[in-house]
Amino acid sequence: MKHGILRRLLPFLAAVCLTVPLLATGCTSANKEVVATCGGDPVLREEYSFLAGRLADADLSEDEIRERITPSIIEDRAILAAGADLLDGLTVDDKAVKAAVKEGIKAAKTEYGGKDAYRAALAEQSLTEHHLKRMLAVAEIQRLVTEKLFAGTELESEASFAEWLADDAHYARVERYDFQSEAEAEAFLAAVQGGGTADKVYQSHGGTKASASYCFLGLGGEELDALLFSLPADGMTLSSIISDRGVYSVYRRLSVSAEEREDMAALQGLAVRDELRSRRWESFLADYADGLTVEWR
pLDDT tens per residue, range 169-228 = 999 999 999 999 999 999 999 999 999 899 999 988 787 777 789 999 999 999 999 999
Single-letter code of the amino acid located at 22: L
Phi, psi (deg, nearest 5) at residue 18? -85, 110
DSSP state of 295: E
**Looking at residues 108-126, what average pLDDT do you find?**
89
CA distance 283 to 6: 29
Q: What is the pLDDT of residues 28-78, one digit of tens each?
A: 677 889 999 999 999 999 999 999 988 988 889 999 999 999 999 999 999
Average pLDDT across the chain, whole number? 88
Residue 106 contacts residue 9 (beta carbons within 8 Å):
no
Phi, psi (deg, nearest 5) at residue 38? -140, 115
First-to-last alpha carbon distance for the chain, in angstroms, is: 36
Residue 6 contacts residue 122 (beta carbons within 8 Å):
yes
Hey, what CATH topology would domain 169-255 get? Chitinase A; domain 3 (3.10.50)
Phi, psi (deg, nearest 5) at residue 195? 120, -5
CA distance 156 to 45: 37
CA distance 134 to 132: 5
| CATH class of domain segment(s) 5-153+282-296 | mainly alpha
For residue 161, is pLDDT > 90? Answer: yes
For residue 27, is pLDDT > 90? Answer: no
For residue 25, is pLDDT > 60? Answer: no
Residues facing residue 184 across a β-bridge:
none
For residue 108, is pLDDT > 50? Answer: yes
The angle subtended at Cα 105 by Cα 142 and Cα 27, nearest 5°, is 95
Q: Which residues contact 252 (CB under 8 A, 6 or more apart)?
A: 174, 175, 198, 210, 231, 235, 236, 237, 238, 239
For residue 124, is pLDDT > 90? Answer: no
Domains of the chain, by residue range, sit at 5-153+282-296, 169-255
**Looking at residues 133-152, what average pLDDT do you find?**
96
**pLDDT for the residue numbered 146:** 97
Q: Which residues contact 227 (CB under 8 A, 6 or more apart)?
A: 239, 240, 242, 251
CA dihedral of 171, 173, 179, 183, whole degrees rounded to 10 = -70
Task: Collapse the DSSP code of 23 into the 3-class scheme (helix H, G, I; strand E, B; otherwise coil) and give the result.
Answer: coil
Residue 10 contacts residue 263 (beta carbons within 8 Å):
no
